[in-house]
Amino acid sequence: MIAKYGLDEGVEPQKYGLGMKELWEIDPAKHAEGTVTHTMGWPLNGNAGGGSFIYHLDNNQVYVGFVVHLNYENPHLFPYMEFQRFKHHPMVAELLEGGKRIAYGARAITEGGWQSMPKLVAPGVALLGCAAGMVNVPRIKGNHNAMLSGIAAADAAAEAIAADRSGDELTAYETTVRTGAIAKDLRRVRNVKPLWSRYGLTASLGLGGFDMWTNNLFGLSLLGTLKHGKSDAAATGEASKFKPIDYPKPDGKLSFDRLTNVSFSFTNHEESQPAHLKLKDPKVPVEVNLPKYAGPSARYCPAGVYEFVEKDGKPEFVINFQNCVHCKTCDIKDPTQNIVWTVPQGGDGPNYPNM
């Protein structure tokens, strides 16, 4: 809808983070329902921005997750392996040892915030919640704004129905979002993400904090509204300019290889259907993305859908679409913007339990 109606004209490019999550059942002695832990940075070591979350649910279950901001430059980065490495930090390893992973999933998160929010309405169309990018990144939450946008859209739709209108623009919805609680929440944190992108995590913590402080107290920012600049795809650098990263092998206890973990997403796609991941030009992966960017789709996909295999002495690009967990990272991060995620046949995809 955004592309069809040009709803993002004149706004900053949307930004994203790839969130990966595992559900664990842990030793009851280590479980403390309601405990929330967040970390920033490690083990990304300056190669990308991101951080983790660990939430203790009920029934001795724990969510362990890791988010990698998709504006990273080094195409050798392997977000999934960063997540696996994270679980070997002594604090996390101690928590998970003796437990078992019972589910795995991944999803891209819209992180561009206020300056990336597209026009929200078109004839018969309204963008709500994450579709419009209403996540408050420093607060690591978007549910509150998703619910508020649902209420505002329902109010506007009810008003339109009562007035016998149909198929026009719900402009009242757009006005409520841009002048109400959602605007207030997103406007005051609008510079945090661009500051992270520009100055890295440590340097931007103080500056971002100061900017949020002036916004909260005085309703203004000395920085104005910072731009994001490049899209996440365009941020990807050429492989020859970066060092490959050596990742330790998963140990099968705390860390797992991708395909084993994908089986815990319970994803399913009827094999006889056409692949729902389309290439605009089938030659680009081997002729451009492999030599120039070292074939980054083989790493950024958290489900191992994309592979470069050798056939008759030549590289061939393979799409194992059956494994897809619908995170949309390929559509976002492919440096040549050659991959288009489309909807597979009726209801196919991940089948997450309690995720």
Which positions lie near ligand SF4, rule CB under 6 A?
277, 301-303, 305, 324-330, 341
Taking the complex as a whole, how short is the minimal distance between the CB of residue 306 and ligand SF4, in angstroms? Answer: 7
In angstroms, rounded to a whole number, what is the distance separating the alpha carbons of residues 297 and 323? 14
* Cβ-based nearer residue to ligand SF4, 126 or 303: 303
Taking the complex as a whole, how short is the minimal distance between the CB of residue 326 and ligand SF4, in angstroms? Answer: 5
Taking the complex as a whole, how short is the minimal distance between the CB of residue 180 and ligand SF4, in angstroms? Answer: 33
* Cβ-based nearer residue to ligand SF4, 110 or 136: 110
Q: HSE (CB half, 13 Å, CA atoms) of 309? A: 9
Taking the complex as a whole, how short is the minimal distance between the CB of residue 78 and ligand SF4, in angstroms? Answer: 13
Taking the complex as a whole, how short is the minimal distance between the CB of residue 341 and ligand SF4, in angstroms? Answer: 5
**36-40 and 50-56 as β-strands: parallel, antiparallel, unpaired?**
antiparallel
Q: For residue 76, give every residue at least 6 positions away whose Cβ sits within 8 Å of its Cβ, in sequence order, or none.
A: 239, 242, 243, 244, 245, 294, 299
Q: For residue 347, give every residue at least 6 positions away whose Cβ sits within 8 Å of its Cβ, in sequence order, or none.
A: none
Taking the complex as a whole, how short is the minimal distance between the CB of residue 201 and ligand SF4, in angstroms? Answer: 24
In angstroms, rounded to a whole number, what is the distance separating the alpha carbons of residues 101 and 90? 18
Beta-bridge partner residues of 121: 126
How do the residues of the chain divide into helix, strand and coil, expressed in percent and rounded to 5? 35, 20, 45
* Cβ-based nearer residue to ligand SF4, 155 or 307: 307
In angstroms, rounded to a whole number, what is the distance separating the alpha carbons of residues 137 and 313? 46
Count of residues making up the chain: 355
* Cβ-based nearer residue to ligand SF4, 126 or 324: 324
* Cβ-based nearer residue to ligand SF4, 112 or 350: 350
Residue type, 191: N
* Cβ-based nearer residue to ligand SF4, 128 or 330: 330
